[in-house]
Every structure is written in structure tokens, then in C-alpha cells.
Chains A and B, each alone.
Chain A
Amino acid sequence: MIQLSWRQFRTQAAVAAAGLAVVAIAVLITGPRVFHLYDTTVAPCQGRSDCGTAEELFVRHYGFLQAALTQLVEFAPALIGIFWGAPLVARELESGTFRLAWTQSVTRARWLGVKLAVVGVASAVTAGLLSLMVTWWTTPFSRVEANRFDPTLFTQHGIVPLAYAVFAFALGVTMGLLVRRTLPAMAATLALFIGVLLCIVFWVRPHYLPPAHTTMPVRAAGDLGFQPVESGRAFRFIIGSPNIPNAWVSSTRVVDAAGHPVSNQFLGTACPNLVPPGSVAGRFPAPTGPFQDCIAKISGTYHLVVTYQPAGRYWIFQSIESGLFLALASGLCGFCFWRIRRVA
């Protein structure tokens, strides 16, 4: 049964191997150059405030390749789910070959189990190798941008892509078993995979561990300014997240010592020239001037309360999320074993 599963998977495995080989060549050739460029242009000034230009140049130099590689890691699990998962059972049901396979001397459970194991392991290995190569290659970028805990980048690095791939594969097999037609199963797999991933990223991931809180002066906020809302009669005070390297900031609030948020009346009094009704104020503070006075006045009474996941929790979160997706995959596999006994 292992030989049969492998023989049926041969073409897809060859495509994956070729793809991995191409990525490996790109990574191995350009990787050392990336590291070298970082070491010579950015590393010497790292940590100092005058590094901005060097960093920008560095990021722009290999920006295209970085985007391509990280997008590849982003898409790989979905592709695995669609092209390896959905057809696994659906194609046999659609073409009738299951009537040949299930009347040989193997039970349906063994037939399914071996196919799941062979292609499942292949999925994990493919996604794992891809993520390994790309994570290594983007290490300098992570050092420069220090944003690997951000929701999007989190899904493109580390060990979670492997878990996503295994989950997408199991999801694809399940859809194939339920829908029994390959193309609709592929569509359903894609839709559900994206749906589940988005749900977990936005609604579940923030709760893996209770977030930490810290206080900071108002000046530490990333973006400060006013923005008109609805035809200029009202305005909104914009506070950008402070820059905590490699942490995941979920909210930033301006509150006073008692915890009350800053009110519009206070802002109107403290920053009168900046917020006349009906006018648009600049968003980027000038080094001196009325805007700095305004900020100084606010800072007297208010401070920032930042809710965030500290950088040190990155690998814990990676592990929790991987475990979650692997558990979901196991659940789906269990369902498949139950369901396949009912397929007429």
C-alpha cells in the first residue's frame, strides 16, 4: 500500500521537488550575498538612530526576492491543500477507481491511512523545508524590521507553515471525501482554509496567552496627529503603536493617571491652533512649534498604556499555533476515517 500511494503521488512529488530545488538554488546563491550586504552596510550602524538610510537601501536592494520568497511560504499550504489534499480521495470517487481499490485485499481504513500518512508527511516536509530556507534567508530583514511577530509575517516564518500545510492537506482530503468531486473540493478547500486561518489569526491568536501591559510617555507613540472625521466638523486623535521591537502590539491608549481616556475638550483646549473646526492639521510633527507644545501639554496629564505580546513569547506562540493546527488536522483525519466507512 505504501508503494501504491507513492506511485500515485509520484508526479506531484516531482513537481514539489523541482520547486524546492529552484528555491534552494535561489536561496543558496543569494543568501550569502544578503548576509554580506547586511553585515557591511547595516550591522555597523545597528541600534543608532542614523541607520535609517542604510536600512532602507538594504531592504530595497533585495525587496523583490524577499517578497517573492515570503509569498511562496504564504501560499504553499493552500496549494498543498488544493493539489495534494482535495484530489486524494475525490479523484478516486469521481472516476470510479475506488471500486477497484476497495475490492483488493486492503480495508478502506488501511487504504486511507497509508495515503494520508505518505502524502501528509510529504506535505509537512515540503512546507517545513521551504519555511526553513526562507526563514534563514530573511534573518537579516527580521533584524532590520524587527516585526516578525506581526500577524502577516508571523504566518510566513518559523514552524507554523508546516502546521498550516498539514492542516490544509487534511482539510482537502475531508472536502474531497464529502464533496466527491475534485474541482468543487479544491474550491471548498481554498475557501475554508483561508476562512479558518483568518478566524484564528484575528480571533484566537490574541488569546493564546494573556497580553502584557506597559506604560510609556505619549511621545513614544509611533504616529501622532489629528484626522478629520465626517466632513471636518469632528476630528480624531491618532495614536500609532510605539516601536517595541519584535513584539506584537494589540492596542495603544492615551489615558490619565486614573485611567480615563483623553477627551476632545482637553484636546481642544491644549491644542487650540491645531484643531480649528473645519480644518485639517498635519500628521507628522515638526521638530519644534505649536504641535510640540500641544504634545507637551498632553504629556503632562496623560500617558500611553500599551497592550502587547512581548517579543520573548514569539516561539511559544509559534508552538501553540502549530499545535492548534496539527490538532485540527488530527481531528479532520479522525473524521475521515469515520466517514469513509459510509461512502457508498
Chain B
Amino acid sequence: MSDVLRTAGLGKRYGRRWALADCDLRIPAGHVTGLVGPNGAGKTTLLHLAVGLLAPTTGTIEVLGRTPAADPSQLGRVGFVAQDTPTYAGLSVAEHLDLGGWLNPTWDRELAERRVRQLGLDPKQKAGKLSGGQRAQLALTVAIAKRPELLILDEPVASLDPLARREFLKVLMEAVAEHGVSAVLSSHLVTDLERVCDHLVLLVGSRVLVTGEIEPLLASHHRLTGPRRDPARLPSNQEVIEESHTDRQTTLLVRTDEPILDPAWTVEPVGLEDLVLAYMGRDSAVDSSRATLAEVAR
């Protein structure tokens, strides 16, 4: 299967700060990929690079095999919903659909109108008067109705209440099921992504920490609880991601594809949120040890 997104050494710098650095990524087609990480990690930067709103400082990025926003047909293959789902406050819902038709040769007017009816939106209502959830649904409709091959969504549900969030994700999943479109969706709420994504990219501190299919990821990570132990004495095929100790007990989060045979451990599965948090914690520990090394070297 081909990749919808491919980057090599991708970086973006603003002044002295690197918003994204050394990004090597391959996102396969036919999946819903979650892009997760703390605020300021570079998620928005990566997505804006993917839709051509930004140009890279270093490295390359290819979307559906071509440079982002290379020409109108490339722009038509990717649907984008930006953070805070921008819409034209002065234009009505129907006029937004007109906009889609005027600007996109592949616009499916019938699909757009059907969705608007299903959502219960009033076509004459100005977008400025819609609720947050309705605006998000409108923006999603505009992105879907041009029949893209890839949908990119930047924190689309971040500012929505739980009901609006769930409704948005339902509509998104329906579109994925009906049209076979791939999706990349960023969020700092892992619980939402767990339901709808089957592929994950974890971005922390402007770098990619983890990437892969969610199920094998979860299957290969375990929480081990047992009596106090030095993690260095574990078998080499068990990589410790996170450790914590009390005077009597050790808790480890390990990654391994082999079965854990030591009977002293209680082995439990790890949820996606805990997995993400563990990697984020490890990254900041590595950062501070990097800083210490740098100081020693000086």
C-alpha cells in the first residue's frame, strides 16, 4: 500500500526555534492516523507543512506522492480542517457549500447537501451564528464534499463539548467508511484517538518518538508490577520505557515482543494514554540528561 504522507529529515524553523526537527515519517494509506503530543510539540506545524500552508526549512515532505499544494489538482486531493475550524462568519451554510463548488472541480454538491440535511443545519444560517460543534461539522462537510483522498484535521474537537465531539467523530468515521478516505487527525486528547485511530504518531519536543499501528503497539507494551528490582537486570529483549520504585515495589512499563516468563511479575496491559505519557516522560528525562552531558562536556 502506498503512503499518504512521507517525510525525510523534515524541519521547520522560526527565527532560532525549531518547531519541527529531523522528522522522518511514513503514514500508510487506508488508515486513520492519530498525531498526538503535548501542545507546542509541532503537530500543527507538521500538518500545515502537509497542506502547503508552510514551506519546509530543511528536508522534504510528500503527500500522496507529490509536493503539498503543488497545483490545484493536488490541493483537491487533500481536505483540511484547521484548528478552531475557521469559517466565514458572514457567509451562510449554503454559501459555504457554494464556495466549495466554486473552488473545487471535484465538488459533490449532492453529498454536501445530504450531509447538511442529516446534521440538521439551517442552510440560511450565517456561520458566525452557529455553535462551535456546528461550525466544526460545516468545516468537515466542506472538506469531505470535494472527495479528497486524504483528510487532515488539526485538533478538530479540542474546543467542543463531549456530545459535539462524539457527533463529529461519528460523521468523520462514516465518511472514512463510505468513501475510503485516509485520515490524519491531531489531538492532545488521547482518549478520543483511541477509538477512531488505528495508527499512531507521537510527536514530542518537535521530534517523532513513536510511530506504528496502535494494536501491535499496545500488544507489545506491558506493565510489570513486582517486588523491588533493579531494571538493569532484566533480559535484554525487554526495553524499559518507564520505571518507578518504592522501598518494596517496582513498577515498570516495558516494550517487548517476547512473552514475559518471570513469575515474580504481575503483567498487565497498558492503555494508549499511559503508553503515550510514558514515552513523553522518558523523552523529558533524556532531554535533561542530554543537558547534563552537555554541561559536563563544557
Contacts and interface: CB of A to CB of B under 8 A. Distances in A.
- Note whether A and B contact each other (Cβ less than 8 A): yes
A8 B95 CA distance: 10
A97 B87 contact: yes
A104 B90 CA distance: 19
Interface in B71-122: 71-73, 75-76, 78-80, 82, 84, 86-91, 95, 98-100, 102-106
Given A104-B75, A107-B75, A99 B106 contact: no
17 contacts: A1-B103, A8-B88, A8-B90, A96-B82, A97-B87, A99-B82, A100-B87, A100-B142, A103-B53, A103-B69, A103-B78, A104-B75, A105-B73, A105-B75, A106-B72, A107-B69, A344-B53
A105 B72 contact: yes
A91 B89 CA distance: 12
Interface of A: 1, 3-4, 7-8, 11, 95-97, 99-107, 110, 344
Contacts of A99: 53, 80, 82, 86
Contacts of B139: 100
B285 interface: no
B255 interface: no
The 9 closest A-B pairs by CB, nearest first: A104-B103, A99-B82, A105-B76, A103-B80, A96-B86, A105-B72, A105-B104, A105-B75, A97-B86
Contact of A105 (B82, B86, B89, B146): B146
A96 B48 CA distance: 13
A96 B84 contact: yes
Contacts of B52: 102-103
A106 B86 contact: no
A4 B98 CA distance: 8
A196 to B, nearest CB: 32
A103 B75 contact: yes
A104 B98 CA distance: 12
Given A8-B88, A99-B82, A104-B103, 14 more contacts: A3-B98, A8-B90, A96-B82, A96-B84, A99-B53, A100-B82, A100-B142, A103-B75, A105-B73, A105-B106, A106-B72, A106-B75, A110-B72, A344-B48
Interface in B49-74: 51-54, 69, 71-73
Contact of A3 (B71, B73, B102): B102
A103 B51 contact: yes
- Considering residues A3, A8, A99, A344, which has the most beta carbons from chain B within 10 angstroms of its beta carbon? A99
B87 A105 contact: no
A25 B113 CA distance: 44
For the side of the interface on B, what is the size category?
A: 20 to 34
A7 B94 CA distance: 13
Nearest to B95: A7
A1 B103 CA distance: 6
B89 to A, nearest CB: 8
A208 B54 CA distance: 45
Contacts of A103: 51-53, 69, 75, 78-80, 82
A105 B103 contact: yes
A96 B104 CA distance: 20
Contacts of B106: 105
Contacts of B104: 104-105
Nearest to B74: A105
A107 B86 contact: no
Contacts of A96: 82, 84, 86
A335 B167 CA distance: 45
B100 A104 contact: yes
A99 B99 CA distance: 14
A89 to B, nearest CB: 14
B75 A100 contact: no
Contacts of B76: 104-105
B138 to A, nearest CB: 10
Nearest to A10: B90
B53 A97 contact: no
A4 B99 contact: yes
A175 to B, nearest CB: 22
Given A102-B53, A104-B146, A106-B75, A97 B103 contact: no
B69 to A, nearest CB: 7
Contacts of A97: 86-88
Nearest to A2: B102
Given A99-B80, A100-B142, A4 B103 contact: yes
B102 A1 contact: yes
A204 B54 CA distance: 41
A96 B89 CA distance: 11
Nearest to B100: A104
A241 to B, nearest CB: 53
A11 B126 CA distance: 15
A344 B100 CA distance: 23
A106 B103 contact: yes
Nearest to A7: B95
A101 B139 CA distance: 11
Contacts of A101: 103
B92 to A, nearest CB: 10
B71 A107 contact: yes
A3 B54 CA distance: 27
Contacts of B142: 100
B54 A344 contact: yes
B91 A7 contact: yes
A270 B245 CA distance: 113
Contact of B102 (A4, A11, A107): A4
A95 B86 contact: yes
Contacts of A344: 48, 53-54
Contacts of A107: 69, 71-72, 75
A4 B78 CA distance: 21
Nearest to B96: A100
A309 B102 CA distance: 53
Interface string B135-152: 000010010001000000
A107 B72 CA distance: 6
